[in-house]
Amino acid sequence: MEDERRDKDKHATKSDNSPTPLKVLIVDDDKVVRMTHKMLLDRVGVKDHVAVENGKEAVELHNNGQSFDLILMDKDMPVMNGIEATRTLRSMGVSCKIIGVSTSTSNQIYVQEFVEAGLDYFYTKPLTVKILGEILEKIKS
């Protein structure tokens, strides 16, 4: 019985860490958040990820021909915020899933504006492995 449980645990760990063929763009001005999102993506098996510091850099990547399956977009950033970047990316024809993330949800008007700019989903920071897993399930379906 104990051997079966160990085999199940090994199998669960192996499948949890198997690579997911997604390319993810992390857009956040906070270096710690970028590093955290990278680690979380690694933990759920997403190994192909790029991180930039603001919305303008995200737009420039797309202008230079890069494409992504998922974008994790911070709302509050210097140079170009997440709302402007999302609106610009959508106007350029970018159709991948864009997930808005922010620590501030107290002002529902800004959250609504972010959603109206073209977000697929909005989550409050910090993201967790569980939340990221839910996001990945949503974009796979």
- 76 CB burial (10 A radius; 0-12, 13-18, 19+): middle
Q: Between these two residues, 13 and 96, which has the higher pLDDT value?
A: 96
pLDDT in the model for residue 12: 36
Q: Is the pLDDT at 24 greater than 60, yes or no?
A: yes
Q: Is the pLDDT at 14 greater than 70, yes or no?
A: no
Residues 6+ apart with CB under 8 A from 27: 51, 52, 53, 54, 55, 57, 58, 71, 72, 73, 74, 77, 82, 85
Domains of the chain: 20-140 (3.40.50.2300)
pLDDT in the model for residue 19: 56
pLDDT in the model for residue 138: 85
Cα–Cα distances in angstroms (integers) from residue 90 to residues 36, 99, 115, 120, 137, in the given order: 26, 13, 12, 11, 22
pLDDT in tens, 57-108: 999 999 999 999 999 999 999 999 999 999 999 999 999 999 999 886 667 7
Spatial distance between the Cα atoms of 139 and 135, rounded to a whole number of angstroms: 6
pLDDT in the model for residue 108: 78
pLDDT in tens, 97-136: 999 998 866 677 778 899 999 999 999 888 999 999 999 9
Q: Between these two residues, 16 and 41, which has the higher pLDDT value?
A: 41
Q: Is the pLDDT at 4 greater than 50, yes or no?
A: no
pLDDT in the model for residue 57: 98
Q: Between these two residues, 53 and 16, which has the higher pLDDT value?
A: 53
